[in-house]
Amino acid sequence: MSQWKIQLAKSSGFCFGVQNAVSTAYRILDEKNDQKIYMLGEITHNETVVGDLLASGMLLVHEPQEVECGSTVLIRAHGVTPAVMEELEKRDCRIIDCTCPFVKKIHDIVRKADQEGRPVYITGTKGHPEVIGICGEANQTTVISSLSEAENLPQIEEDAIWVSQTTFSSKEFQKICEFVQKKIAKDQIFGTICYTTENRQRETAELAGVADVMVVIGSRTSSNTKKLFDICSDRCALTYLVGSAEEVEPLLSLWRDKKVKLIGVTAGASTPVSIIREVITTMSENEANTIQESNDINFGDYIESIPQLRKNATVKGEITTCDGDFVYVDVHDKSEGKIPRSEFEPDFDFDAAVAERREIEVFVRSIRNTDQGKEIILSKSHVDFSKNKAEIEEACNNKTPVTVKITSVVKDGVIASYGEVDIYIHRTQLELNTVNDLESYKGKTMEILITQFDAEKRRLRVSGSRRTLLNNERKAKADEVWGSIEKDKEYDGVVRSLTDFGAFVDIGGVDGLIHVSELSWNHIHHPSEVLAVGDQVHVYVKDFDPEKKRISLGYKKAEDDPFYNIEERIPVGSIVRGKVVRMFQFGAFVELEPNLDALCHVSQISNVRLNKPQDVLKEGMEVEAKVLDVNASTRRISISIKEVNPIDPEPSEVEETAPVEEAAPAEAPVEE
């Protein structure tokens, strides 16, 4: 006897909308009131279910005019047009609206577009009850059933919106979307195919790709059932559409002859569990086989006890779609769960996550039943917080660094985030020195050590320190510096602090001092005239004492000295030109180059004996002179104006006073 396995696609049978409508129908029949109860159109494309409801006393009509005034009318999951609703209200009917929430959402989109004067395009099956109801919400609608029809449209208006029938082929809709996106903006295209339909079609396609036989259970008048059949036929040669167990029995012998090993089973959204059970039971009778389902889910468990979520559980799910407020996740329940979009990082790629149905772990915050169906509120941040909390605790215990991002400034410190965990860093723990400008740290990413982790209190308390990490790094670098330091060795350093007597520079874990006299060849009063804290500087070691941990650094360069190579640049006997900058009784100082002055003694200005330089010179006057002496060691240059172009005063301009004795140049005050 042959042995085959039966594998049932997980998303088989009634969808939420149909299940709700059928359950409501039986409930209002049980009310046993005196009103007649009508279903406006077959409540589901399944003869067995409809027949049972009719046998129980419900009446079937197809037009609102057929309904008796004052009766009860059940609106099926497909929905109806506003005109139908108005007619029923005129007849004073009690309306039980079981329109699927997904279909109602499409009605809202189309109604709003019509109010804004926008044309509406609907991807769906022409004449389908759901499509007819949607079209009733707008004056200007076009129904497209295939990509070729979309391509043959004369034009697609730029302000148009595009929606889809909930049970339309997701594969065909994707093709149409790719074409339409070239015509209108992406946010004008609404992916309104029911996620249950997408799941059902996807799971069916996967199963049909590996099964020897595919059995599609459902009505031949059901749109979504026919789409499932088409999907299976493309992938499995032996595909059968059956409406009941009786239609399966003649096929069993054929499958035995063909030595079938795996039978895949799927069912349309209008197929009740009872029929699925009968079909599978028929295939299983007299067969020493097992019933295997997708992902090893037992069929009996699937039928009798569909896995239910529970509050406060952590489960896995796939991201299916998103809107401006929520991200929707398939958590393997009859309804999708939703996560506030704000729980995701700003740079999270939602389009990619939806396209690949990315799996994530989520926390079930709440589950409640509403008029629109089951509402499942999920949280990603709750799961992330638990993971991040465990990682932070481990980092604290092992003293391992973590990378955080500064998110806000608080009193005396900042708040950094590690995923969903907030960490407090005091201003003294950000750098080796105390930080005053905390605002500049917002948005920065840095490594820190966790110094406090307190989960005992009601609120988690975590503190961190970058300074501790920097100190550890600094100590390791200091050991390296002291192990290789030598005179004249050059370093790139950072100015850490300034004092009256010099600047302290970090040369890699060790601070060295540049004395104020080493900062410039010119006289300065304070190091801040040359350097600022944080400046990058290139220095060299002048001297060091390993025992006292002291290092003297040099900063100014010989080539920057105004007297560098002076005897070659300005040789004795050369003619120079300069500007008078200062005058004293004994002579005048002439600037030859920036920061390089030469002394012209009063006796070397004129052929006439002058009482003072001011007799013939003024500050700012340009003069030519001959170099008499250059002495780099004493940093002095002597020049003579009169040897080039003496400046003689008018006789009346010279005061009759005692002549000035010539003073040796060494007596003259010189500013370096």
Query: Which residues have a catalytic role annotated?
Result: 130
Which residues does residue 453 pair with via DSSP β-bridges, in sequence order? 462
314 is written with which tokens? 């952590």
Task: Give the separation between CA 233 and CA 214, rounded to whole angstroms.
Answer: 8
Task: Give the separation between CA 167 and CA 227, rounded to whole angstroms.
Answer: 9
Q: How far is CA 417 from the centre of its chain?
A: 14
Task: Give the separation between CA 194 and CA 168, rounded to whole angstroms.
Answer: 9
Sign of CA dihedral 607, 610, 616, 619: positive
561 is written with which tokens? 């000295």
Q: Residue 338 is which amino acid?
A: K
Please provide the DSSP assignment of 461-517 as one string.
Answer: EEEEESHHHHHHHHHHHHHHHHHH--TT-EEEEEEEEEETTEEEEESSSSEEEEEGG
Q: Collect all residues with Cβ–Cβ distance below 8 Å to 355 and sequence separation of at least 6.
A: none
| Tokens 């709003």 -> residue | 112
Largest CA distance in the chain: 146
Q: Collect all residues with Cβ–Cβ distance below 8 Å to 571 and sequence separation of at least 6.
A: 627, 630
Task: Give the separation between CA 545 and CA 552, rounded to whole angstroms.
Answer: 9
Q: Collect all residues with Cβ–Cβ distance below 8 Å to 202 and sequence separation of at least 6.
A: 170
- DSSP H/E element including 275: helix 273-284
Q: Where are the alpha helices (DSSP H) in 117-251?
A: 129-135, 147-151, 170-180, 195-208, 223-235
| Tokens 């006997």 -> residue | 573
Burial of 150 (0-12, 13-18, 19+ CB in 10 A): buried
In whole angstroms, how far apart are CA 418 and each of 206, 431, 441, 444, 447? 39, 19, 16, 13, 11
In whole angstroms, how far apart are CA 208 and each of 9, 196, 296, 302? 10, 18, 17, 20
Q: Collect all residues with Cβ–Cβ distance below 8 Å to 432 and sequence separation of at least 6.
A: 467, 470, 471, 474, 496
3-state DSSP call for residue 579?
strand
Task: Give the separation between CA 632 and CA 477, rounded to whole angstroms.
Answer: 41
122 is written with which tokens? 């609907």
- DSSP H/E element including 584: strand 575-584
Q: C-alpha angle with apex 465: 343 to 395, nearest 5 degrees?
A: 65
Rg (CA), the chain: 46
* Contact of 93 with 73, CB cutoff 8 Å: yes
